[in-house]
A and B are shown apart, each in its own frame.
Chain A
Amino acid sequence: MAIIERPAPTASILLRAPVTPSQSMGIVRRPVTSTGWKSWVFTVDHKKIGIMYGVFAMFFFIVGGVEALLIRLQLATPDGKILSADLYNQMFTMHATTMIFLFAMPMAAAFANYFLPLQLGARDVAFPRLNALGLWLLVSGGLILNASWFLGGAADGGWFMYSPNSGPVFSPSNGVDFWTLGVQIAGFGSLIGSINLIVTILNMRAPGMTLMKMPVFCWMILVVQFLLVFSLPVITVALVLLTFQRSFGATFFDVAQGADPLLWQHLFWIFGHPEVYVLILPAFGIISEVLPTFSRKPLFGYPFVVFSGASIGLVGFGVWSHHMFATGLGPISVAAFSIATMAIAIPTGVKIFNWTLTMWGGKIWYSTAMKFAIGLIVLFTIGGLSGVTHAVAPSDTQQTDTYYIVAHFHYVLFGGMVFGLFSGFYYWWPKVFGKMLNEKLGGWNFWLMVIGMNMTFGPMHILGLQGQPRRMYVWTEARAGEGLFNFGFWNRVSSLGSLILAIGVLLFLINVVHTTRKGKPAPLDPWDARTLEWITTSPPKEHNFDRIPVVHHLDDFFHRKYQEDATTGAMVQIATGEQLVRDEEANADAHIHLPSPSYWPIAIAIGVGTLGMGVVYGVPIMIVGVLIILGSSFGFVLEPSVADDIDYDPPMSGGQETKELAPLG
């Protein structure tokens, strides 16, 4: 019985196996298997995380789509009876929230996660475990948001959640509590992800890839991450204020206490407007890759596209009050924001012209990806032009909060963003899954979506200008106008269109199933592509590149395949993509280190989710959440990035489960 034991003599220690850092530190063995569900749940591989982001987003795209269909079904006839007023209000709130926070942002994150390292020539993102944490926080936020459906009703204040209507008196169910917490948690995930991606882009580009030789997709993702870094803190502040107002009796928006409810609107839209660009710029990035590939020509005016993207991001922070033209800001503010809003149309217009001129003089291959990209240009232009009509503030006072606005932003977000994402699906599917999506089904998918989209949202322009306001659970014959082409006609067209649109999206899902089952294996370079992600196998190996590529050109992959003939000036093929990939495999790097999977990201996310539920359901649950977060954080901090041999079973077995990939070639 010693109060303090003396150190044992060296001799006895030597009898034991040598102790290594990770063994003393790792509390549990690392989940190092490369197959089975554990290999997904605990992964830190950016590609697996990207795919999970995609699956998550697609699931919520369908959820949000079903919500939208219910809304359209309710509005197909006057005095619709499908949904009650309460349910309808929840439905449109959650449709927007789901589509923005649980579909659009995660789907952009899916593309960014998967393709950013591949396009940059990197083996992974800068902080792989943070990457996983971002994903699981988002999942946690998404679950909390949607759990509200089953726990007394979802949020019913609209995704803009204007105070005081979002206060405890006016929205007495717990829906808004779940909403604020879910969005906050998902926001933390995005924030973590954005810092990770910024560091990745700035530090992990392949040798020779200067910023101005970086693919436009990476540029747009970079701009988006900066937008997120600066705008998410604002919404977090607003959400914390709202949480305190609802759960802890604060009075930040209470007029009787000398506050001003417009504070919420300013905070919300300082986030909310940049958020619009957060949603659209990734799609711009995608089609800036697709259009050159299928036009067989570099992007027209690369620096203009890049800098217009950056300036859209910058000016995007100075136009938030155009969402508030009717709130009584006073003519000076209204005029300033009106002009700023018109100014943002200029860089957007530059992008449209550059994409159009990229196709000029090209050799256009109408693949499904290309069709969607062209669809984006056309539909986004319509949305952009209607946007100019409400940059004119007096006109906007007639249009805001009517279906004209609904039409506008669905042309921008569905016609713009969703078409861009679908273009990306068709373009990169062979890269991710090694199989070609069926082009014939793709054609049907595209045309049904174009027709459905225009039928759904086109008539909304007319409805809005005829004076049908948004967010109304019923419309009435008394205000519908006379004749054949009244509210009733256009509402029915719109509802019918939404069904066609749904069938279009369904065809995509059918295409995915069909491809997974019977799709033909993709060639290594199916589109004669231009950027680095195609210089490796499809799907890429865990370590992405056998050899880290050295970059000499913008569109380096293309320039490895083609060279300008010195005499004629024509482009002459000197190698196929396939040859290049084989060449890389033959000259693989030895000793490639990759980070090991970890339990802690998902554990922290579970803790954060529990903490969030605790805010609604009481302090004991909060304490459990905090303890989980604390414990997992220490686990996160203490474990080394690379798993120890002892974590493998059996240790040092070699083969598939080695921590270091065997030297290749």
Chain B
Amino acid sequence: MRLRRFGLGLAASSAMFLVGCARNAPQDTWQPKGDNAQKINKLDWMVFPLAGIVGVLVFGLIAYILFRFRDKGQALPTQSHGNPAVEIALTIVPALILSVVGVFTFKGIFELAQTNDTEMVINVTGQQWWWEYDYPAQVVNGVEITQPIITSGQLVIPTGTNVLLRETSRDVIHSYWIPALNGKKDAVPGRINLLRIQADKPGIFAGQCTEFCGLSHANMRMEAVALGPEDFAAWIANQQRNAEAPAQATLAQEGEAVFLNQCIRCHQVNGLKKADGTAAIAAPDENVYSGAAPNLTHLMSRNTFAGATFDLLTSSCRKNVWTASPEEFGSAYLKGVTTDCLNQTDLRRWLRNAPAMKPMYADPIKLARSDGKYRGMPNLGLSESDIDKLVAYLSTLK
């Protein structure tokens, strides 16, 4: 009777647990979408049930003892001090179980660490509080990258390709984690750490910095986007273009002037020219402690900004991308941020007062210890009309 109740309770609680796991959380570690994560998941499927079985046996035993040997007024038990044979058996059995687990773990560790089948290399750099990706010149699946590509927030990879991320950091330790594609790997300043990822199907996979990295650690997110071969080639081609100057006498052109006046101090737009015709080069190292700010040349080709914390897409457009089927995903993503999909609210709030949206060390008075350099984007004190112009300019950066 009691056992049955115990069994029912167990079944109910494990059902709860499974239901809890089965929902579609974007960072669910039990829904692998690529080979590496799959390998980890297989180990999970070995060790979790094993731990569960051991747990059930131990708790069953305890429950039985608690019931059977309760004080029923029986005589004082014999004062036995133990049984060496039982002891040794109970030492050896867990040791055997664990050595089996150990063998598979060993295999998994070395499989996940191999690099001899790499097909593509991307450099990943963490800083407070966003990720930068640069794609060195290379040939990937027949598509040649001639100019190094630099982007941030969303990592774009081709499907079915073993991509090697070479991670490091400009300031503190961060950790790169796309649960659907692989476990996490820290980005440690001064070190190059390697992380293999591979995605089976086109799609977008959420991630989050998982090494505590200071004030806005919670707002340091990332997304990995996997595109099919043709879509990826198209993306590469677009990313290697320079930005085009906006048409004469438009609001966007006035926005370019504002950009050249303010934003260029930190944010690079490739191909942007100053009024005198020379190339405008950003100098983030003079203003930001980490020495870098996101390259905005193709801002509107990514769906997020500010460390993938805020969406550039309105929520309905975002939903279209996130719920697109693998077949349609590529075209949905490559559309970028069209004018009617642009999330004006958040972008304007950001331009108005960035530190209010995402906590950052952006108060010059308090930054004596970092030579007065910001950590994050300060409040630029832009006027509303400047913001209008900038939004118009930024939406031309496809």
Direct touch of chains A and B (CB < 8 A): yes
A-side residues, CB < 8 A to B, are 84-86, 89, 156-158, 160, 162, 164-165, 168-172, 255, 259-262, 295-302, 304, 326-328, 330-331, 334-335, 338-339, 342-343, 345-346, 349-350, 352-354, 356-357, 359-366, 374, 377-378, 381-382, 385-386, 388-389, 391-402, 459, 461-462, 464-475, 478-483, 485-487, 490, 554, 558, 562, 564, 569-571
Known A295-B77, A388-B51; 14 more pairs at CB < 8 Å? A169-B289, A172-B369, A259-B190, A300-B81, A304-B87, A345-B98, A353-B90, A359-B62, A362-B77, A389-B48, A393-B109, A394-B39, A472-B208, A486-B25
**Contact of A486 with B369 in the complex, beta carbons under 8 Å:** no
**CA of A574 to CA of B29, assembled, Å:** 62
A295 to B66, CA, bound (A): 10
Residues of A within 8 A of B179 (CB): 398, 467
- Ordered nearest first, which 6 A-B pairs have the shortest CB separation? A397-B183, A467-B27, A481-B25, A328-B193, A472-B218, A255-B190
**Given A301-B83, A301-B87, A397-B40; A466-B21 close (CB under 8 Å):** yes
Partner of B186, one of A327, A395, A469, A571: A327
Task: Tell whether A165 pairs with B208 under 8 Å between CB atoms, given A172-B366, A392-B101.
Answer: no
Contact of B108 (CB < 8 Å), options: A84, A157, A363, A394: A394
- Please give, as numbers and ranges, the residues of chain A lying within 8 Å of B84 by CB-CB distance: 301
A261 B102 Cβ-Cβ under 8 A = no
Do B21 and A382 touch (CB < 8 A)? no
Q: How far is the CA of A640 from the CA of B219 in the complex (A)?
A: 61
- Complex alpha-carbon distance, A395 and B36, angstroms: 11
Partner of B208 from the list A366, A377, A479, A570 (CB cut-off 8 Å) is A479
Q: Is the CB of B109 within 8 A of A469?
A: no
Complex alpha-carbon distance, A259 and B72, angstroms: 67
Contact of A328 among B48, B90, B191 (CB under 8 A): B191
Chain A residues, CB < 8 A from B113: 330-331, 334
Partner of A400, one of B44, B58, B101, B184: B184
B19 to chain A, nearest CB (A): 6
18 A-B contact pairs sorted by A residue (CB < 8 Å): A262-B188, A300-B80, A300-B81, A300-B82, A304-B91, A339-B102, A350-B90, A350-B91, A354-B87, A359-B69, A363-B71, A392-B104, A395-B40, A466-B20, A466-B21, A471-B218, A481-B26, A486-B23
Q: Which residue of B lies closest to A483 (CB)?
A: B23
Q: Please provide the chain B residues from 95 to 117 with a CB less than 8 Å away from any CB of chain A in the complex.
A: 95, 98-99, 101-102, 104-106, 108-110, 112-113
Q: Which residues of A contact B171 (CB under 8 A)?
A: 164, 170
Chain B residues within an 8 Å CB radius of A470:
210, 212
Q: B19 near A485 (CB under 8 angstroms)?
A: yes
Least CB distance from B126 to A in Å reads 12
- Does residue B6 face the partner (Cβ distance < 8 Å to A)? no
The residue among A165, A374, A381, A399 with the most chain B CB atoms within 10 A of its own CB is: A165
Contact between chains at B98 and A569 (CB < 8 Å): no
Contacts of B94 in A (CB 8 A): 345-346, 349
Are A356 and B76 neighbours in the complex by a CB distance under 8 Å?
no
| Chain A nearest Cβ from B68, distance in angstroms | 9
Interface hub of A171, A172, A395 (most chain B Cβ within 10 A): A395
Q: How far is the CA of A472 from the CA of B215 in the complex (A)?
A: 9
Measured CB to CB, the nearest residue on chain B to A342 is B98
**Dominant secondary structure at the B interface:** mixed
When the two chains form their complex, are residues B109 and A360 in contact, meaning their CB atoms are under 8 A apart?
no
Which of chain A's residues have a CB closer than 8 A to the CB of B177? 469
- Taking a contact as CB atoms under 8 Å apart, the answer to whether A335 and B28 are in contact is no
B262 touches A (CB below 8 Å) = no
List residues of chain B with CB within 8 A of the CB of A388.
47, 51, 98, 101
Supposing A165-B212, A385-B55 touch, asked if A357 and B27 sit within 8 A by C-beta, the answer is no
Query: Among the interface residues B20, B29, B43, B82, which one has the most CB atoms of the partner chain A within 10 A?
Result: B20
Report yes or no: A359 in contact with B218, Cβ–Cβ below 8 A.
no
Binding site for A on B (CB under 8 A): 17, 19-21, 23-30, 37, 39-40, 43-44, 47-48, 51-52, 54-55, 58-59, 61-62, 65-66, 69-72, 74-84, 86-87, 90-91, 94-95, 98-99, 101-102, 104-106, 108-110, 112-113, 128, 171-173, 175, 177, 179, 182-186, 188-191, 193-194, 206, 208-218, 221, 289, 311, 359, 361, 366-370, 375
**B110 to chain A: which residues have CB within 8 Å?**
331, 335
Residues of B within 8 A of A479 (CB): 25-27, 206, 208, 221
**Chain B neighbourhood of A352, CB < 8 A:** 58
Nearest B-chain residue to A481, judged by Cβ = B25
Q: CA of A157 to CA of B84 in the docked complex: distance in angstroms?
A: 48
Output the nearest chain A residue to B208 by Cβ-Cβ distance. Answer: A469
* Max count, chain B CB within 10 A of own CB: residue among A86, A396, A401, A480: A401
Q: Point out which of B83, B84, B108, B186 has the most chain A C-beta atoms below 10 A from its C-beta.
A: B186
A571 to B105, CA, bound (A): 50
CB proximity of A364 to chain B, nearest CB, Å = 5
| Contact call A326/B23, Cβ cutoff below 8 A | no
Query: A569 CB to closest chain B CB, in angstroms?
Result: 7
Contacting B183 at CB < 8 Å: which of A84, A262, A365, A394? A394
Contacts of A483 in B (CB 8 A): 23-24
Contact yes or no, B76 A363, CB < 8 A? yes
Q: Out of A394, A471, A481, A569, name the residue touching B78 (CB < 8 Å).
A: A569
Asked whether A298 lies within 8 Å of B27 as measured between CB atoms, the reply is no
Residues of B within 8 A of A357 (CB): 82, 86
Q: Are A466 and B185 in contact (CB under 8 A)?
A: no
Interchain nearest-CB distance for B110 vs A (Å): 5
Cβ distance B82 to chain A, nearest Cβ, rounded Å: 4
Indicate the member of A261, A362, A378, A467 with the most B CB atoms within 10 Å.
A467
Residues of chain B within 8 A of A362, CB atoms compared: 69, 77
A363 touches B74 (CB 8 A): yes
**A377 engages B39 (CB within 8 Å):** no
What is the CA–CA distance of A262 and B188 in the complex, to the nearest angstrom?
Answer: 8
Q: Which residues of A contact B183 (CB under 8 A)?
A: 326, 394-398
- Cβ–Cβ contact A298 & B23, under 8 A: no
- Shortest Cβ distance from A306 into chain B, in angstroms? 12
CA distance A634 to B69 in the complex (A): 60
In the complex where A169-B370, A471-B217 touch, is A465 in contact with B82 (Cβ < 8 A)?
A: no
Q: Please pick, from B20, B48, B215, the residue contacting A462 in the complex, using a CB distance under 8 A.
A: B20
Specify which of A162, A169, A334, A396 lies most central, judged by the most chain B CB atoms within 10 Å of its CB.
A169
B146 CB → nearest A CB, Å: 30
Q: Which residues of A contact B76 (CB under 8 A)?
A: 296, 363, 562, 570-571
Contact assessment for B215 and A397 in the assembled complex, using a CB-CB cutoff below 8 Å: no
Q: Which residues of the partner chain A approach B86 to less than 8 Å between Cβ atoms?
A: 301, 357
Please tell me if the beta carbons of B25 and A356 are within 8 angstroms of each other in the complex: no
Cα separation A352 to B43 with both chains bound (whole Å): 25
What chain B residues lie within 8 Å of A259 (beta carbons)? 190
**A260 engages B191 (CB within 8 Å):** yes
Question: Across the interface, which residues of B come within 8 angstroms of A459, CB to CB?
Answer: 20
A89 CA to B190 CA in the complex, in Å?
A: 25
Closest chain-B Cβ to A315's Cβ sits at a distance in Å of 13
Q: B154 → chain A, closest Cβ, in Å?
A: 14
Residue pair A398, B98 in contact (C-beta under 8 Å) = no
**Contact indicator A481/B28 (Cβ below 8 Å):** yes
Q: Which one, A158, A360, A397, A486, contacts B184 given CB within 8 A?
A: A397
Q: In the assembled complex, which residues on chain B have CB atoms less than 8 Å from the CB atom of A171?
A: 214
Question: How far apart are A50's CB and chain B's nearest CB, in angstroms?
Answer: 30
Complex: chain A residue closest to B215, CB-CB: A85
Query: With a CB–CB cut-off of 8 A, which chain B residues contact A466?
Result: 20-21, 23, 25, 27-29
- Looking at the assembled complex, report how far the CB atom of A183 sits from the nearest CB atom of chain B, in whole angstroms: 18
Decide: A304 and B77 in contact? CB cutoff 8 A: no
What's the Cα separation between A331 and B72 when bound, in Å?
56
One of B99, B194, B210 near A401 (C-beta < 8 A)? B210
Q: Which residues of A contact B206 (CB under 8 A)?
A: 467, 478-479
Q: Which residues of B contact A471 (CB under 8 A)?
A: 212, 217-218
In angstroms, how far is the closest chain B Cβ from the Cβ of A380? 11
Task: Give Cα distance in the complex from A302 to B79, angstroms.
Answer: 12
Tell me whether A354 and B82 are in contact (CB under 8 A).
yes
Q: Are B81 and A394 in contact (CB under 8 A)?
A: no
Minimum CB–CB distance from A331 to chain B (whole Å) comes to 4
